[in-house]
Every structure is written in C-alpha cells, then in structure tokens.
C-alpha cells in the first residue's frame, strides 16, 4: 500500500517540493512506498473544508502526516477539536504547520517559531540589527507572527516591531506577543510605514502576495530603508516584492533575501516529526544542495 506524506496548501502542484521530495526520500533512506500528495484548498473556503481535510488526515491510515502552508491558522480555528494534542507553539500562536499520525492519535505542531528563527538568523545574524532600527512585518499569519515573536526575543531586538495585515482578526491574535504594534493595512499604510523606517531596519513580506495571490503588499513607489535587510518569504511565484527591493538594492545598500532557505528549513522540520527522523544541520545542508536543481532561479 502506498503511504502519503500530504502537502496542504493552495497551489501545491507548482511547488518545487514535488520534484525534490523523491530525491530527499532516497537521500534519507525513507521507505520507497511513501509518496508526496498535494491537497489544495483555495483561499476563502468555509470551515467545513478544513474540517474535512483534517478528518481525512486523521482517519485514513495511508496518511502519515502533513505539512501545512497558507492555511495554518484556519486549520486550528476550524478543526482544533479533531487533534489529540498540539505543541506549546501551536497552542500559543493558534496555528499548525505540521501534522502527524502516531499510535492512532493526531498530533500538531507549529514549526514557524523554529524554522523562521533559523532562517532569519542566517540572513540577519544575531547582533546585525543596529541600535535604533525598526522591523516591519507585512502579514500577521503564522509566519509573520513567528518572525515578530523571534525579533522581540533577540538580544539586538529592534526598537519597534510593527506588523500589518488586512484582517483585523489576525491582528487581534498578536496581543499574545506583547510589544508588537499591530496596524490594519488599509490604503497606502504599508507604503507609509516602509518609508518611515530608520536606516538598518528589517522588512519582511509574509503576506503570501507574489505566490498565492498576485501583486505586492507595497506600491512600486515605496522606498525601502537605507542599509535595510529585506526578506521576501516567497521562493517561487511572481515575487513582485522581491523585484521591488532588488531594484533599490544598489542605491539603498539593501541586503535582499528570498525564501529558499526558509522553504528548506520548513520542510525538513516537518519531515523530522512525520518520519521521526532527526536531522542535523549537516543533513539540512546536504538536502539543500540536493534541492538546488529545482530552485526557480537556479542557473
């Protein structure tokens, strides 16, 4: 019987993981009968769609577990009662990115606090945020919330951590993080906030725009902070935000990063739980190199 490692998202067939997973399975010596299976749920679907998906993951013995993108918050919002246990991060943040079936029980984890922190610290090493700099996180979903939380915990924490979103309900969840400034993304508020950032500030696109939805959370006339660090969480798609930052990189002395390393960390962290296969940093480096062939901008 073929067993499934499920990928819950919006446009899973377009993800590089479709081509990468068979190589990773072989490199790690995972069972040959395990296949990656995409499970798409369009944006804005009703609660029942999420409950059906989680119930299927729980009840079909062919499902080993799942990685969840985009819908991390909706899975907990609408199907929390279908889980037997959530980890402390999932309970605190109200999101699930990793699901596994173990001994007839359905378990959930929020891996963003770990994977986002590892990726951000690799791009902006501890101590690299200058005094007086701010952070602007565009998007209050699972990834954006985790990044904001991590920035607040760093020794070189920004003076202000501002998170914007178009959904008031997502912004309301940020209250658990304490000192985050939550701002409703109406009109040109993102552009104005971006233009007011001090030199050396950190800017993150965690909206999903440029991958799951077209466009960018800022306009073409928006100005990035001088000597700023700009992180586009998307590694595929149109990535308009990435191109906007790259166009100003030379004049504004920007450091610009896409979401490739975050993508690798996200998948490997989930695979550790689903397959109960611990991975070292050397393992992750090896898997990252093995996946380079599928990187959208490879070559």
Q: For 87-146, write each residue's pLDDT tens digit.
A: 999 998 888 999 999 988 999 999 988 999 999 999 999 999 999 999 999 999 888 988
**Alpha-carbon span 163 to 137, nearest angstrom:** 5
Mean pLDDT, the chain, whole residue set = 94
Q: Domain check: are 251 and 286 in the same one?
A: no
For the segment 201-215, the average pLDDT, to the nearest whole number, is 92
Please report the pLDDT score of residue 176 as a whole number.
65
With respect to residue 299, please indicate whether it lies within any of the assigned structural domains.
Answer: no
Q: What is the CATH number of the domain that holds 77?
A: 3.40.50.10860
Q: Domain check: are 254 and 266 in the same one?
A: no
With respect to residue 163, please indicate whether it lies within any of the assigned structural domains.
Answer: yes
With respect to residue 125, please indicate whether it lies within any of the assigned structural domains.
Answer: yes
The strand pairing partners of 209, in sequence order, are 213
Q: Domain check: are 245 and 132 in the same one?
A: yes
Residue 185 belongs to domain spanning: 114-258
Q: Domain check: are 158 and 41 in the same one?
A: no
Q: How many domains does the chain have?
A: 2
Q: For 160-173, write each residue's pLDDT tens digit.
A: 999 999 999 889 88
44-51, Cβ contacts within 8 angstroms, sequence gap of 24 or more: 47/74, 47/77, 47/78, 48/78, 50/74, 50/75, 50/77, 50/78, 50/79, 51/78, 51/79, 51/82
Percent of the chain with pLDDT over 70: 99
Q: Domain check: are 175 and 286 in the same one?
A: no
Please report the pLDDT score of residue 150 as a whole number.
93
- Tell me: pLDDT of 299 over 50: no
**Alpha-carbon span 48 to 51, nearest angstrom:** 5
Q: Domain check: are 83 and 153 in the same one?
A: no
With respect to residue 54, please indicate whether it lies within any of the assigned structural domains.
Answer: yes
Model confidence, pTM: 0.87
Q: What is the CATH number of the domain that holds 133?
A: 3.40.50.720
How far from the centroid of its chain's Cα atoms is residue 284's Cα?
17
């Amino acid at each position: 019987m073929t067993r499934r490692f499920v990928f819950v998202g919006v446009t899973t067939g377009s993800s590089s993981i479709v081509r990468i997973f068979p190589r990773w399975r072989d490199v790690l010596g995972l069972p040959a009968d395990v296949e990656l299976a995409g499970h798409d749920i369009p944006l804005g679907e009703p609660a029942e769609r999420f409950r059906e998906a989680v119930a299927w993951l729980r009840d079909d013995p062919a499902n080993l577990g799942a990685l969840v993108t985009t819908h991390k918050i909706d899975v907990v919002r609408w199907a929390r009662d279908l889980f037997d246990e959530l980890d402390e991060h999932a309970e605190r943040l109200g999101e699930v990115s990793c699901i596994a079936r173990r001994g007839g029980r359905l378990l959930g984890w929020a891996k963003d606090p770990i994977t986002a922190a590892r990726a951000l610290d690799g791009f902006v090493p501890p101590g690299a945020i200058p005094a007086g700099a701010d952070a602007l996180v565009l998007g209050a979903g699972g990834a954006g919330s985790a990044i904001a939380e991590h920035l607040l915990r760093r020794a070189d924490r920004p003076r202000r951590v501002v998170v914007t979103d178009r959904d008031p309900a997502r912004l309301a969840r940020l209250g658990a993080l304490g000192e985050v400034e939550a701002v409703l993304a109406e009109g040109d508020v993102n552009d104005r906030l971006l233009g007011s950032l001090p030199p050396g500030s950190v800017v993150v696109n965690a909206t999903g725009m440029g991958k799951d939805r077209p466009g960018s959370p800022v306009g073409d006339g928006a100005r990035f902070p001088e000597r700023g660090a700009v992180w586009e969480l998307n590694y595929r798609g149109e990535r308009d935000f990435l191109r906007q930052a790259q166009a100003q990189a030379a004049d504004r002395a920007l450091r610009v990063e896409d979401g490739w390393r975050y993508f690798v960390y996200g998948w490997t962290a989930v695979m550790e739980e689903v397959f109960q296969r611990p991975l070292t940093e050397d393992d992750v480096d090896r898997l990252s190199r093995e996946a380079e062939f599928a990187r959208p901008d490879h070559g």
